[in-house]
């Protein structure tokens, strides 16, 4: 691969360096495999193929010729809506199953059945317990946690018929969800019901299918994801701002390098603790290393950065490249966003690829199953495998980029409010005065169809230049971290108003709020501002964006953000263009239903313009007429 071609693939200079190594060593990556897939199937891109039953597979002619219907009679509207709803179901299931795993660990911990875990944030435990109607008076924290976990478990089934955290939205939004019929009743039920409604011979009204898709997405955003976030905070601590480093330069030539990758913090927290165990450090020294270095990829990285300040090696498209540095002794994976290609890539080096979840085993990987009851012991065994592998590293094949970039993470809702002095009022005042024009949430993945990190970074830069505070999660936050936007000094790149506020508070103009499930933190901030202003979330000068999204989880996130009343722009085109009706419902019609729509714009400069215009329109509607603060001459 030519250097120019590599520069076209990514703006991450450390990724460029390793892509060159990959080409020299003939190791293929997602970019190469994308090329081998081209041209991709037009029916798939438009969402008009169906294989929901054995009368098919069926496909619809995109130009209006025959066939216009599948064997059962489903037309393009039904097929596109069913496919999209199933994407939401898969995404909501992934987030919510993660939430369930956290609840189980909290429950086991409360019963004293785990080794290594504790209730770290007792204040938050009590606050959430009160929200769930758990009586506190004088009870031990374990007792409270057990009852709280059991109440949360009920929300996954059908005993309760409602989701507690949905009560956090302003009354106007509650009424809207009830009137439209999309109030989430249970976390699992709405997901299962999507699968039922999209089975052959059930739902045949595209709008009705999609409305239920929104309902299931709400059971993710205000249910499974929010449970994952809040209950993780109880177990591992509510994040506070902390500094760390990001990009492949965080790897260390003289140390045992362990990468943790995936999403769920329950195992990675233990691996971090085990890396600090004196016995393990001593063993590393015996093997000739100067210690043990742990770094993360994807949202496991975000979880550990937020709470422990652990450095980040990269986002989604960096996972294979980390292995290609030749410097990783073990890559420990839990679940979600793990490329199956990791197995063959790891086999080209000395790296041990270790799977830990029975839900995400991989051919060719070593499986060390995680059990909460023996969590620390398993964490230590994993670290031992890595340390003992150090002597197998081939120094001639190691290439570690230099110059990791500083970043700051840890902006939980609580941390943001604390930075503001204890209430959201100063933020609201800054919005009213026009110093901050509005807030944009940038979330989601990387996608090799889009120049790696380019859309995230270009969009964030233009938004902060225009005094829009950017909050981020997932791979978007990692992209902006690598570009140097997650440090207080980046305020110099912001417009005058945002610069003034960020400098006064000592915060970056782009705030890292955590992992994918932590998009729920963004919902909480939006709900708190709307309540303080006594308006609906859809009235606020806020917007969402998923500039490089690829996963079904991102579809669920986008859907619950829109259903919560927040206009959302997608950088990659979703597979819906095969139905004019579905496309028009998503991009226009939803405004009359939930007060927000999706837009699609692959160019990040234009994406920024859409968001800026939207925010200015919302300001006008709220009577906020102050112009932006002019730059001093």
Applying CB under 6 A, the residues found at the interface with ligand MSK are: 263, 298-299, 315-316, 337, 444-445, 474-475, 515-516, 551, 553-554
* Binding partner of residue 71 among ligand SF4, ligand MSK, none, CB cut-off 5 to 8 Å per kind: ligand SF4
> Residues 489, 507: contact at Cβ < 8 Å?
no
- The DSSP output letter for 220 is I
* Binding partner of residue 474 among ligand MSK, ligand SF4, none, CB cut-off 5 to 8 Å per kind: ligand MSK
Q: Which of 16, 56, 418, 609 binds ligand SF4 (CB under 6 A)?
A: 56
**188: helix, coil or strand?**
helix
> Which DSSP helix (H) or strand (E) runs through 313?
strand 312-314
User: Could you tell me the two tokens for 583?
Assistant: 């496309």
Measured from the CB atom, is 70 or 604 closer to ligand SF4? 70
Measured from the CB atom, is 311 or 495 closer to ligand MSK? 311
> Residues 506, 475: contact at Cβ < 8 Å?
no
**274: helix, coil or strand?**
helix
Q: Which of 89, 92, 230 is nearest to 151 (CA)?
A: 230
Measured from the CB atom, is 474 or 604 closer to ligand MSK? 474
CA of residue 435 relative to chain centroid, distance:
28
Measured from the CB atom, is 15 or 60 closer to ligand SF4? 60
Question: Residue 538 to residues 429, 535, 551, 589: CA-CA distances in angstroms?
Answer: 19, 8, 25, 15
- Beta-carbon contacts of 532 under 8 Å, excluding residues fewer than 6 positions away, are 424, 425, 428
Q: Shortest distance, CB of residue 178 to ligand MSK, whole angstroms? A: 30
* Binding partner of residue 55 among ligand SF4, ligand MSK, none, CB cut-off 5 to 8 Å per kind: ligand SF4
* Binding partner of residue 305 among ligand SF4, ligand MSK, none, CB cut-off 5 to 8 Å per kind: none
The alpha carbon torsion through 321, 326, 329, 334 (nearest 10 deg) reads: 10
* Binding partner of residue 22 among ligand SF4, ligand MSK, none, CB cut-off 5 to 8 Å per kind: none
Q: Which of 52, 217, 257, 355 binds ligand SF4 (CB under 6 A)?
A: 52
Q: Shortest distance, CB of residue 573 to ligand MSK, whole angstroms? A: 17
Q: Which of 18, 74, 214, 313 binds ligand SF4 (CB under 6 A)?
A: 74
Measured from the CB atom, is 60 or 557 closer to ligand MSK? 557
What is the total residue count of the chain?
633
Question: Residue 82 to residues 93, 221, 554: CA-CA distances in angstroms?
Answer: 16, 21, 17
Beta bridge partners of 50: 58
* Binding partner of residue 170 among ligand SF4, ligand MSK, none, CB cut-off 5 to 8 Å per kind: none
Question: Is residue 196 close enough to count as binding ligand SF4 by CB under 6 A?
Answer: no
Measured from the CB atom, is 528 or 546 closer to ligand MSK? 546
**Which runs of consecutive H residues, i.e. helices, occur in 510-631?**
519-533, 552-563, 580-584, 590-594, 604-621
- The DSSP output letter for 248 is G
**Region from 67-75, 266-274, 491-499, 564-572 binding ligand SF4, contact rule CB under 6 A:** 67-75
Q: Which of 35, 37, 42, 55 binds ligand SF4 (CB under 6 A)?
A: 55
| 127-146 binders of ligand SF4 (CB under 6 A) | none
Measured from the CB atom, is 144 or 271 closer to ligand MSK? 271
Q: Shortest distance, CB of residue 299 to ligand MSK, whole angstroms? A: 3
Measured from the CB atom, is 47 or 311 closer to ligand SF4? 47
Question: Is residue 355 close enough to count as binding ligand SF4 by CB under 6 A?
Answer: no
Question: Is residue 579 close enough to count as binding ligand SF4 by CB under 6 A?
Answer: no
> Residues 566, 577: contact at Cβ < 8 Å?
no
Q: Which of 42, 44, 57, 67 binds ligand SF4 (CB under 6 A)?
A: 57
- Quote the CA–CA distance of 157 and 134 in Å, as a whole number: 19
* Binding partner of residue 58 among ligand SF4, ligand MSK, none, CB cut-off 5 to 8 Å per kind: ligand SF4
Measured from the CB atom, is 92 or 129 closer to ligand MSK? 92
Q: Give one DSSP letter per residue of 366-380, joined into a string.
A: EE----GGGHHHHHH
Question: Is residue 85 close enough to count as binding ligand SF4 by CB under 6 A?
Answer: no
- Quote the CA–CA distance of 511 and 200 in Å, as a whole number: 44
- Residue 73 Rama label (left phi>0; alpha psi -120 to 50; beta): left
Q: Which of 1, 23, 34, 72 binds ligand SF4 (CB under 6 A)?
A: 72
Question: Is residue 58 close enough to count as binding ligand SF4 by CB under 6 A?
Answer: yes
Measured from the CB atom, is 56 or 628 closer to ligand SF4? 56
- The DSSP output letter for 73 is -
Q: Reduce the secondary structure of 405-452 to three states and give it as a string.
A: EEEEECCCHHHHHHHCCCCCHHHHHHHHCCCCCEEEEECCCCCCCCCE
**Count of residues engaged in binding ligand SF4, rule: CB under 6 A:** 14
Q: Shortest distance, CB of residue 87 to ligand SF4, whole angstroms? A: 16
- Residue 53 Rama label (left phi>0; alpha psi -120 to 50; beta): beta
End-to-end CA distance of the chain: give it in Å, rounded.
47
Q: Shortest distance, CB of residue 52 to ligand SF4, whole angstroms? A: 4
Cis peptide before 39 (omega within 30 of 0): yes
Name the one residue in this structure whose structure tokens are 């679940």. 335
Q: Shortest distance, CB of residue 204 to ligand SF4, whole angstroms? A: 10
Q: Which of 18, 19, 47, 70 binds ligand SF4 (CB under 6 A)?
A: 70
* Binding partner of residue 475 among ligand SF4, ligand MSK, none, CB cut-off 5 to 8 Å per kind: ligand MSK
Residues in contact with ligand SF4 by CB under 6 A are 50-53, 55-58, 70-72, 74, 79, 200
């Amino acid at each position: 691969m030519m250097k120019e071609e590599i520069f076209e693939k990514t703006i991450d200079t450390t990724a460029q360096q390793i892509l060159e190594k990959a080409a020299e060593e003939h190791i293929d990556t997602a970019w190469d495999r994308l090329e081998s897939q081209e041209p991709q199937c037009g029916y798939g891109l438009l969402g008009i193929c169906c294989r929901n039953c054995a009368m098919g597979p069926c496909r619809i002619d995109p130009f209006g010729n025959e066939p216009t219907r599948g064997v059962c009679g489903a037309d393009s509207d039904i097929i596109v809506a069913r496919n999209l709803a199933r994407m939401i179901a898969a995404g909501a299931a992934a987030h919510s199953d993660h939430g369930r795993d956290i609840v189980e660990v909290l429950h086991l911990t409360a019963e004293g059945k785990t080794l290594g875990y504790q209730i770290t944030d007792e204040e938050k435990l009590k606050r959430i317990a009160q929200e769930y109607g758990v009586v506190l008076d004088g009870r031990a924290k374990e007792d409270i946690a057990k009852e709280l976990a059991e109440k949360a478990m009920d929300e996954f089934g059908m005993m309760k018929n409602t989701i507690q955290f949905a009560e956090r939205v302003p009354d106007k939004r509650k009424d809207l969800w009830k009137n439209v019929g999309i109030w989430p009743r249970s976390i699992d039920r709405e997901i299962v019901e999507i699968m039922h409604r999209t089975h052959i011979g059930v739902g045949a009204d595209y709008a009705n299918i999609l409305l239920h898709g929104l309902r299931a997405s709400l059971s993710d955003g205000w249910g499974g994801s929010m449970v994952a976030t809040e209950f993780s905070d109880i177990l591992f601590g509510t994040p506070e701002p902390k500094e760390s480093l990001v990009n492949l330069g965080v790897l260390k030539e003289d140390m045992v390098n362990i990468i943790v990758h995936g999403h769920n913090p329950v195992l990675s927290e233990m691996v971090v603790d085990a890396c600090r165990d004196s016995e393990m450090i001593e063993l590393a020294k015996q093997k000739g290393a100067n210690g043990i270095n742990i770094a993360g990829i994807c949202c496991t990285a975000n979880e550990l950065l937020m709470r422990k300040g652990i450095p980040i090696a990269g986002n989604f498209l960096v996972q294979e490249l980390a292995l290609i540095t030749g410097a990783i002794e073990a890559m420990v994976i839990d679940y979600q966003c793990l490329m199956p290609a990791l197995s063959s890539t790891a086999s080209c080096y000395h790296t041990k690829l270790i799977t830990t979840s029975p839900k995400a085993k991989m051919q060719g990987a070593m499986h060390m199953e995680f059990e909460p009851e023996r969590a620390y012991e398993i964490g230590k065994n994993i670290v031992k495998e890595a340390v003992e592998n150090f002597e197998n590293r081939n120094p001639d094949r190691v290439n570690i980029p230099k110059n990791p970039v500083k970043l700051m993470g840890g902006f939980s809702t609580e941390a943001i409010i604390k930075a503001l002095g204890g209430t959201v009022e100063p933020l609201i005042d800054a919005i009213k005065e026009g110093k901050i024009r509005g807030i944009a949430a940038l979330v989601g993945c990387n996608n090799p169809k889009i120049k790696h990190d380019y859309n995230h970074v270009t969009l964030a830069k233009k938004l902060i230049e225009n005094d829009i505070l950017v909050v981020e999660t997932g791979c978007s936050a990692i992209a902006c971290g690598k570009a140097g936007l997650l440090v207080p000094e980046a305020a110099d790149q912001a417009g005058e108003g945002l610069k003034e506020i960020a400098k006064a508070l000592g915060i970056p103009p782009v705030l890292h709020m955590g992992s994918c499930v932590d998009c729920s933190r963004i919902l909480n901030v939006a709900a708190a501002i709307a309540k303080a202003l006594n308006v609906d979330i859809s009235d606020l000068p806020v917007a969402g964006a998923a500039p490089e999204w690829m996963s079904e989880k991102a579809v669920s996130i986008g859907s619950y953000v829109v259903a919560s009343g927040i206009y959302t722009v997608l950088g990659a085109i979703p597979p819906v263009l095969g139905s004019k009706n579905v496309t028009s419902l998503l991009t226009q019609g939803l405004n009359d239903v939930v007060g927000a729509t999706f837009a699609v714009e692959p160019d990040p400069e234009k994406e920024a313009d859409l968001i800026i215009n939207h925010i200015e329109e919302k300001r006008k509607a709220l009577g906020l007429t102050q112009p932006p603060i002019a730059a001093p001459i």
